Amino acid sequence: QVQLVESGGGLVQAGGSLRLSCAASGRTFRSYNMGWFRQAPGKEREFVAGISWSGGITYYADSVKGRFTISRDNAKNTVYLQMNRLKSEDTAVYYCAIDRSAIDRARSKIDEYDYWGQGTQVTVSS
């Protein structure tokens, strides 16, 4: 069983930045595609960004494109989400997730992911 632990959330003013981290247990992290999702109060969980296991393919939701960057360090079993120019509408619980597909790709649908972390709260004040 793979475990994911997110960190780096917090309270930030609009226009500020945060970097989220997601540490994964296990020795097969480098073979997993990874994703970040978020869920705001009263809303459904939505895709934010995805990265293929090689790191060569990334994909972003339109709402964060140009502001957020997903990256990974396979030596550290960690995936990151750098969030810049934050807006109040970015306020949500952010989750990382694993897609065990053997295909090197970045996926955007919730049901394509197999394991989830517990989430980290990001609050952006206006």
Work out the average pLDDT over 67-81: 96
pLDDT of residue 113: 96
Contacts of 100 (CB under 8 A, 6+ apart): 31, 32, 33, 114, 115
pLDDT of residue 2: 86
pLDDT-above-90 percentage for the chain? 90
Q: Amino acid identity, residue 96?
A: C
**Which CB contacts under 8 angstroms, 24+ apart, belong to 48-56?**
48/81, 48/94, 49/81, 49/106, 50/99, 50/106, 50/107, 50/108, 51/79, 51/106, 52/104, 52/105, 52/106, 53/104, 54/104, 56/104
Q: Which residues make beta-bridge pairs with 49?
A: 36, 60
pLDDT of residue 82: 98
Rounded CA-CA distance 14/126 in Å is 5
pLDDT at 27 over 80: no
pLDDT at 47 over 80: yes
Rounded CA-CA distance 64/49 in Å is 8
pLDDT of residue 1: 78
